[in-house]
A and B are shown apart, each in its own frame.
With several copies, the nearest count.
Chain A
Amino acid sequence: MKVQVKLFARARELANSDVVEVELPADGTVGQLRAVLTERYAALRPMVRSLLFAVGNEYADDAAVIPPNGEVACFPPVSGG
């Protein structure tokens, strides 16, 4: 399946894009998405373990399965306030 991934902050700048499309198997997980993203964007590799993912506006860990047409985002640790 095709997954649109919104990128934010330094992840967006390093990938030089605010949204990327990646191909994942059906029932692909966040962990697979993490691997695919850092394979494609070498610049993201130094922060690979600290990248956070959200699916449907909720934080999702590597085991989480990405639903078809789910809203998916990837970003570094937050620093609002």
Chain B
Amino acid sequence: MIQLTRDEIDYVAMTEAVRTPQAGAVVLFLGTVREMTAGRRTVALDYEGYPEMAESKMRELAEEARRRWPVEKLAIAHRLGRLELGDVSVAIAVSCPHRHQAFDAGRFLIDTLKETVPIWKKENWADGTTEWVHPGT
């Protein structure tokens, strides 16, 4: 279950979708829009994506997680467009037989998503300026 959406992410449906009697552990990660970043106040974020490649990379991430851990089920969703403070920008749900597998797989999925999936955010600072977040530039 891989999804790019401009609507609110339904993390409850994702969590229910990964629950199964084969798994003893479910880990859900939510990335949410934080107000303060390095002392500066944000009022909103704009997320832009390269949809075809982003979905392809998210599917690759899912396959890699399944190779590395005994994943029963997983779901990844990323939102695009204008997000307000506290909104969920990304959700990852994963179920495994045992809890450390689910924690490790969930952390791998979000860490690697942030490195490889072609999605970008633009800060809308409280002072009225905007700024693309492009690490290393």
Asked if A78 meets B89 with Cβ closer than 8 Å, knowing A9-B132, A10-B132, A50-B137, the reply is: no
B78 in the interface, Cβ–Cβ < 8 Å? yes
Nearest Cβ on chain A to B53's Cβ, whole angstroms:
4
How many residues in B have their beta carbons less than 8 Å from beta carbons of A? 31
A6 in the interface, Cβ–Cβ < 8 Å? yes
Main secondary structure of the interface of A (DSSP, over half): mixed
Partner among A8, A13, A71 whose Cβ is within 8 Å of the Cβ of B118 = A8
Residues of A contacting B133 in the complex (Cβ-Cβ under 8 angstroms): 79
Inter-subunit contact B90/A78 (CB<8 Å): no
Q: List 11 A-B contacts (CB under 8 A).
A: A13-B132, A57-B57, A73-B53, A75-B120, A77-B136, A78-B120, A79-B134, A80-B120, A80-B121, A81-B31, A81-B89
